[in-house]
Structure 1
Amino acid sequence: MSDSSKPRHPKGLSVLFFTEMWERFGYYLMLGILLLYLKDPKGGFGYDNREASDIVGTYLGLVYLTPFIGGLMADKVLGYRKSVILGGLMMSAGYFMLAIPQTEAFWPAVLLLVVGNGFFKPNISTLLGNLYDAPTNRSLKDNGYNIFYMSINVGAFICNFVAAYMRNAYGWGYAFAAAGIGMLIGTAWFMAGDRHIRYADVMKPANPEDMPVKRVVWLVILPMLVAGVLGWFIPGTIFGSDSTDAFITACIPVIGFYVHLLVRSNKEDKSRIAALLSIFAVVIVFWAVFKQNSSALTNFAETYTDRQISPPAADAVRPFGMVQELSARPDSFPAHDRYFRQLKDASGEKVMTVSPHPYFQNLPKEKWPEPASKVQLVSTEIFQSVNPFFIIILTPLVISFFSFLRKRNAEPSTPAKIGWGLLITGLSTSIMAMAIYSTDITMEKSSAWWLIASYGVITIGELFLSPIGLSLVSKVAPPRLTSLLMGGWFLATSIGNKLSGVLASMWDSYNDKANFFWVNFAACMLAGLVIFLMIKWLRSIIQRHT
């Protein structure tokens, strides 16, 4: 075979790689500090852990719910390139609005991020799949998605160092502005590489059996908005908070749309859609556990993990934004150096009190710094870079492992990989339970190695599941519904993300904190078992259409 006839990755891959890298830089920068910002009473909102976790989970849920709308609009109206550019500009504006130190700007900024991501996320993945539709490179599609997935983690690894440096040196607003600049760079790169991706922006012809866009708006999108509003204003709460009630009720019309899509599809498409929807339903559990890195695990790193480093080590890593300095005794320092927090008095009213930073509340007092000095800590958000670091390191190893098995005709099927991914994810939560058993976290700090080890194991589970899922949708979905079903993948991600916040908000209700992680462990094991029970049926459908 001549070199010219060998399969090659398309030039557009590098365009999409760096666009996604910068988009994920902004996304994970904001996400890495969001819980800390919401809980910080000095420069943020001063919410307690339950309120902050609920907001993070709601944001994570909404940001992956809107790809349903963005995928539909791209499939039927805008096309994929225009949708990506529109989404990138909206998200950049949202990050810059977060940099404004005013409470009133926060929610409009979140709205721009949520809607912008809906236009950006499903359509850049669809463009990537379309680049590999040519017979000359179709065999490289899985590898293409793995390379693309690396871009996500390059951006996610770098961003937390930038976030830590900016917020420690200048304040929260500068960190959010850095996310906006990253998003602008990514959008400009995408536009500059237009000639390499233009041919992949092909809108599929409509099928007479498809629901028209206007009907989708009237029967799905508007009911979704109305249901969300009604869920918010339901007297009391059904699922623990107004935001959770609103989110769950808003999802009902969207889920109904996918059920309608399945019921009304022709015989050829029905098996494809049924297989994908079954997988979507099960991987909700993965996202519910995995996305706790932004809530429960961030809280664990902030409050329960030993982050102290020696002064020489602190001086060495300080230029990389990794050092956070804290004073322990609020009565020994001026007001600007004290930690204020909101507590409820006997009547239920919130009052401001001065106390040590939460880091000191389970640290033996003999380890507190002297009144005239400060303790040197690794910044909490740096732990958010552990997972993308492991992905960068482990992705080539996982790809090589599957290649090794493929040569021996022993490679697991795609559904089996997803099942194993869920089981491995469950093992990562058991490591956190062991971390709690290793020490009394109400009186002492847990070693940071437990958290790092947990991230390492969950990364393997992620590599078995997440990039494979994107590739699977691209290959199995009926061509005219690719972006719409990509939106379905993100809908499952959305529901799982919201559940991650719901689960994390329950942290304080567990007397034995290890049980929090055992609940996650049981959920992953059950979901993995369900996949393996369906594996024969799923494998037959996937093999028939790939």
Structure 2
Amino acid sequence: MNQAKHPKQLYLLFFTEMWERFSFYGMKALLLAYMVTQLKFDEPKGYAILGAYSALVYTMPMFGGMLADKFLGYRRAIIFGGVMMAIGHIVLAIPQDWSFFYGMAFIICGNGFFKPNVSSLVGTLYDNNDPKKDSAFSLFYMGINIGAALGGLLCGYVGQKINWHFGFGLAGIFMVLGLIIFILGKASLKEKGLPITNDLNKKIAGIIKVEHAIYLLTLLALPLIVTLFNYYEALDSIMLVLAVISVTYILYLSSKLEKEAKFKLLSALTLVVVSTLFWAFYEQNAGSLNLFAMRNVDMHVFGMELPALSVNNFLPPAWVIIMSLIFAALWPWLNKRGLEPSTPAKFALSFIFVALGFFTFYLACQASLGNGLIPLLAFVGGYFFIICGEMCISPVGLSMITKLSPVNIVGLMMGIFFFFTAIGEFLAGKIGALMAIPKHVIEANNPVLSLPYYANVLLQISIYSAGIGLFIFLLVPILKKWMGNIR
């Protein structure tokens, strides 16, 4: 692949997203461990709140994408979202009880405007059937994970070893850096990402401009989100209702399209929905695998003990950086030889790889029942397979949305893609809770006692993921037909 053929604007978005993801994943690396060790939440409650946070942070892009499509344009949405996220990280750095939930609320709202619209903006740089498009999203995804690797490593270390609030504050510094990079470079985008209507300056009831109303309503949503954290059980019903509404709305929009466009949109919706379970399995890395690494992975290397949070949150994005380079070159290489798997086949492969990764963890557990600590090498190896799965679904999914969606709802579909990721994140919290360790085992601080609690669920994840992958393979011919000339 000749990377010189990519437009320079890709690299502006690459670095903007890289530093934003540093802050986002640096903070997320600390959340569960902070709740369990510092706030003294019991593990099921910690998993539930992590699931609620993750669900909300990926639900908001559905609204942020829609508002960018209809009113703000991608650029304004990105800047507003970046400001909100920066405020959120700063609030988290304040050592007060109220700051924890309010900091997360600011980040949730900011991410809703920032995340889908950066990805959508990348899509505007390429034609739909440009063979460099999947490769560009793989490179963009590498930027995401360079930031995530550095954030997980540095914030995880600072939080666990120095001060938890310093870790949150470090994340905020790099959020501001990402925002500055975008503002300084946005002129190079020319007309891309600007609002497509003039409705922003219209006044609602003759009182407030549409643009200002959007910002105000977002701020008013903050206490509502904090309330949801305190009544997180209600999210079960909320997520179900939002899922039904979003699918129904896309089906309604598809009914108004001509046949070819309709089936392309339906194929995108199908793949978005099945991706939910991928994220439910994958996102154990931000929850249960954090505590698994702290309790049941031998972190000693050459006589030195590595900080478990840093290692666990560095490994996934580090593997992504390596595999992004490989997959960014692999897809065009296979395409030239007529061997590139279709998008649905890539989705199926993602589940097979995840099954292999969790089965690697399970085998390591079975081999380590005597001392309760699995080798670090096996932990690294399991993540290798899981990240191969991620490379088959996440950057490919982002590219798929921009290729199969009608141009006027790309932002909305990108938001829905992230919303179903949110459902997956929410389910991930429930799966993680199955690995919650009883209090008497935690107090015993004996890895031999805690290992079986993890091993049993790791095996079940592997089995279910393999089954889902095989099911999607059966759907590939139908989905390819629906996608028409898009592969």
Give the structure with the higher percent helix.
2
TM-fit CA distance, 1:401 = 3.5
Number of aligned positions between the proteins: 452
Amino acid at match of 2:29: G
3-state SS, counterpart of residue 199 of structure 1: coil
Residues in 1 aligned to 2:473 and 2:48: alpha-carbon distance in whole angstroms: 32
Residues in 2 aligned to 1:397 and 1:545: alpha-carbon distance in whole angstroms: 23
Which residue of 2 is the match for residue 355 of structure 1?
none
TM-fit CA distance, 1:250 = 4.7
1:94 to 88, 92, 112: 88
Amino acid at match of 1:166: V
Amino acid at match of 1:497: E
Taking the TM superposition and a 5 Å limit, the aligned residue runs for 1:316-395 are 376-395=305-324
**1:29 and 2:26 correspond:** yes
Residues in 2 aligned to 1:132 and 1:405: alpha-carbon distance in whole angstroms: 20
TM-fit CA distance, 1:249 = 4.2
2:35 to 35, 38, 61: 38
3-state SS, counterpart of residue 103 of structure 1: coil
Residues in 2 aligned to 1:30 and 1:110: alpha-carbon distance in whole angstroms: 10
User: CA, structure 1 residues 83+232, in 2 after alignment: closer, same or farther (shift >3 Å)?
Assistant: closer
**1:407 and 2:345 correspond:** no
Which residue of 2 is the match for residue 283 of structure 1?
275
Counterpart contact for 2:354–2:385, Cα < 8 Å = yes
Counterpart contact for 1:205–1:480, Cα < 8 Å = no
**1:48 and 2:45 correspond:** no
Deviates more, 1:259-268 or 1:407-416: 259-268
Residues in 1 aligned to 2:30 and 2:421: alpha-carbon distance in whole angstroms: 21
Amino acid at match of 2:307: V
Counterpart contact for 1:87–1:115, Cα < 8 Å = yes
TM-fit CA distance, 1:169 = 5.3
1:172 to 159, 164, 180: 164
Which residue of 1 is the match for residue 52 of structure 2?
58
3-state SS, counterpart of residue 287 of structure 1: helix
TM-fit CA distance, 1:427 = 1.1
**1:10 and 2:4 correspond:** no
Taking the TM superposition and a 5 Å limit, the aligned residue runs for 1:177-256 are 177-203=169-195, 241-256=233-248
Q: CA RMSD in A?
A: 3.0
Residues in 1 aligned to 2:260 and 2:422: alpha-carbon distance in whole angstroms: 28
Taking the TM superposition and a 5 Å limit, the aligned residue runs for 1:116-195 are 116-133=110-127, 138-168=130-160, 170-195=162-187
1:535 to 462, 471, 476: 476
Which residue of 1 is the match for residue 446 of structure 2?
none
Taking the TM superposition and a 5 Å limit, the aligned residue runs for 1:79-118 are 79-118=73-112
Residues in 2 aligned to 1:24 and 1:402: alpha-carbon distance in whole angstroms: 25
TM-fit CA distance, 1:187 = 0.5
Percent identical pairs in the alignment equals 31
Which residue of 2 is the match for residue 451 of structure 1?
379
**1:474 and 2:402 correspond:** yes
TM-score (norm 2): 0.85
Query: What whole-Å deviation, never above 9, does each CA across 1:220-277 have from its counterpart, x for those lacking one?
Result: x99xx9xx99x9799xx9xx94444444445443343334333444434321221011
**1:424 and 2:365 correspond:** no
Query: What whole-Å deviation, never above 9, does each CA across 1:15-66 have from its counterpart, x for those lacking one?
Result: 10000000100011011111111111xxx21112221111111111111100
TM-fit CA distance, 1:284 = 0.8
**Structure ID, larger Rg:** 1
2:460 to 519, 531, 534: 519
Counterpart contact for 2:51–2:429, Cα < 8 Å = yes
Amino acid at match of 1:14: Y
Gaps of 5+ in 1: 207-213, 315-375
Which residue of 1 is the match for residue 432 of structure 2?
504
Residues in 2 aligned to 1:304 and 1:522: alpha-carbon distance in whole angstroms: 22
Which residue of 1 is the match for residue 326 of structure 2?
397
User: CA, structure 1 residues 141+513, in 2 after alignment: closer, same or farther (shift >3 Å)?
Assistant: closer
Moved over 6 A (4+): 231-234
TM-fit CA distance, 1:514 = 2.5
Deviates more, 1:522-531 or 1:409-418: 522-531
Residues in 2 aligned to 1:279 and 1:182: alpha-carbon distance in whole angstroms: 33
Amino acid at match of 1:298: N
**1:494 and 2:422 correspond:** yes
Residues in 2 aligned to 1:512 and 1:32: alpha-carbon distance in whole angstroms: 22
Counterpart contact for 2:344–2:479, Cα < 8 Å = yes
Amino acid at match of 2:465: C
Query: What whole-Å deviation, never above 9, does each CA across 1:465-523 have from its counterpart, x for those lacking one?
Result: 21111111111111111111111111111111111111001113896543201221232
Amino acid at match of 1:290: Y
Which residue of 1 is the match for residue 441 of structure 2?
none
TM-fit CA distance, 1:199 = 2.2
TM-fit CA distance, 1:158 = 1.1
TM-fit CA distance, 1:193 = 0.4
User: CA, structure 1 residues 110+10, in 2 after alignment: closer, same or farther (shift >3 Å)?
Assistant: same
User: CA, structure 1 residues 105+423, in 2 after alignment: closer, same or farther (shift >3 Å)?
Assistant: same
Counterpart contact for 2:47–2:429, Cα < 8 Å = yes
Counterpart contact for 1:7–1:139, Cα < 8 Å = no
3-state SS, counterpart of residue 485 of structure 2: helix
TM-fit CA distance, 1:540 = 2.3
Query: What whole-Å deviation, never above 9, does each CA across 1:369-428 have from its counterpart, x for those lacking one?
Result: xxxxxxx44342322111111122222223344344333322211211111111111111
Residues in 1 aligned to 2:355 and 2:279: alpha-carbon distance in whole angstroms: 12
3-state SS, counterpart of residue 196 of structure 1: helix
TM-fit CA distance, 1:291 = 0.7
TM-fit CA distance, 1:542 = 2.5
User: CA, structure 1 residues 124+377, in 2 after alignment: closer, same or farther (shift >3 Å)?
Assistant: closer
TM-score (norm 1): 0.77
TM-fit CA distance, 1:10 = 1.3
Residues in 1 aligned to 2:236 and 2:434: alpha-carbon distance in whole angstroms: 13
User: CA, structure 1 residues 134+453, in 2 after alignment: closer, same or farther (shift >3 Å)?
Assistant: closer
Counterpart contact for 1:415–1:539, Cα < 8 Å = yes
User: CA, structure 1 residues 479+292, in 2 after alignment: closer, same or farther (shift >3 Å)?
Assistant: same
Residues in 2 aligned to 1:422 and 1:460: alpha-carbon distance in whole angstroms: 10
Residues in 2 aligned to 1:433 and 1:475: alpha-carbon distance in whole angstroms: 38
1:19 to 16, 21, 27: 16
